Amino acid sequence: MLLVLFKKFLGKNESHGKNEPQASSLEVTIHQIQNGDLRLRNQFIADYQPYVAKVTSRFCKRFIDPARDDEFSIALAAFNEAINQYSSVMGRSFLGFAETVIRRRLIDFIRKEQRFKGQIPYSSFDQEDDEDNLMNPIEVHQAIEAYEKQKGLEERRSEIIDFNRCLSDFDISFSELTDASPKHDDSRQMLFGIGRTLAQDSELMRTLLTKRQLPIKELLEQVQVSRKTLERNRKYIIAIALIFNGPYPYLRDYLHIRDEES
């Protein structure tokens, strides 16, 4: 069970694209293009094709192939439209404005294609904020949900990376924990209880963390199991105690481990 969790949340960090230029430099470029610099326009659009593809993929919730998908062509035309319409007096960054235009054109395209026939388009819910900027409460809510989900995923991944590093100090690997995991729920709950007992005893945890070994003799005085049980499940008990003792709320939640105060 532990290994399934680790595989689920461990993964390569997504690579990030090149740093975006400062807003002031973008505004100067947009102004030059709007004054008729066709060569600069073509170069600017070419440079930002990856950005357009990223926005389109995020909107469509799937990978967009610039060479094959109509959505990319629609988005690229919208990006060019945003160049024509943008003004710094809007009080918004160009890229933020461009993304809004791209999303609107994609919504219109989807409506025409009747992919979501019978549904009300998101643009119907547009509202103006205190600064007369258009906002869509549905899209804002979805953006917040997506952010929180990604944030939670990164925090889980960070927990497991740290937990893996902690396990390595005891020469324990994830695969060993899988092999050591009890097959029956009652046995697993018993080991959870032993791990909790170990974690809640500061002296026992000090011994575990300093000597890197399970204090079997001392632990036998507090739990109603045999020495053989402790020795056979040593690695699993250590792992559970480390989860209880460490800053691992997501791991505790996944394993349905709760502090008594919770």
pLDDT in tens, 209-237: 999 989 999 999 999 999 999 999 999 99
Average pLDDT of every residue of the chain: 77
pLDDT value of position 230: 92
- Does residue 141 register a pLDDT over 90? no
* DSSP line for 184-252: SHHHHHHHHHHHHHHHH-HHHHHHHHHH-S--HHHHHTTSSS-HHHHHHTHHHHHHHHHHHHTT-HHHH
Residues 31-60, mean pLDDT to the nearest whole number: 91
pLDDT value of position 125: 45
pLDDT value of position 54: 92
pLDDT value of position 83: 93
The values of phi and psi at residue 197, to 5°, are -60, -45
Residues 22-33, mean pLDDT to the nearest whole number: 79
